[in-house]
Amino acid sequence: IGDEALASHADPGCLTILYNDEMEGLEIRSKQGKWFNVRPAPDSFIVNLGDSMKAWSNGRYRSADHRVVYRGWMNRISLPFFITPPLDAQIWAPQELVDENNPRRYKSFMFSQFLNGFKNTEAINGELPNAIELLEGM
């Protein structure tokens, strides 16, 4: 991966709560595609939305593309807590979020199948393909 310790990706679940020590390395991608360093703040957590929440919200909420860049001078410690749907959950935006101005953006999917696809995806040029975008458009 080169300078990246973890290829860019969005988490497959609903929510990730991350404790990060004082070492930098986590970067978040903006809508415009630019990477920004996330500076750790003492006694705080970083909260990222995942692709399942993006699909459940019919795209109203954006999942966070992120990566970890190796800085080299010290070890970095982070502790993630992943909140995910049950494996047998069918992910589908509720009808209240779908109308003629906001058509359904994602096909229905079983979380276990989506998770298996995420686990079996290989990074290409340091990026994991965004699996949720494969479900966009019905």
Model-level pTM? 0.82
Q: For this structure, is 76 an active site residue? A: yes
Q: Please state, in angstroms and rounded to a whole number, the distance separating the CA atoms of residues 16 and 81.
A: 6
User: What tens digit of pLDDT does each residue of 38-83 get?
Assistant: 988 888 999 999 999 999 999 999 998 999 887 766 777 889 999 9
Instruction: Determine which one of 29, 60, 76, 105 is catalytic.
Output: 76
User: What tens digit of pLDDT does each residue of 9-42 get?
Assistant: 899 999 999 998 888 889 999 989 999 999 888 8
End-to-end CA distance of the chain: 34
Q: What kind of architecture, by CATH, is found in domain 4-134?
A: Sandwich (2.60)
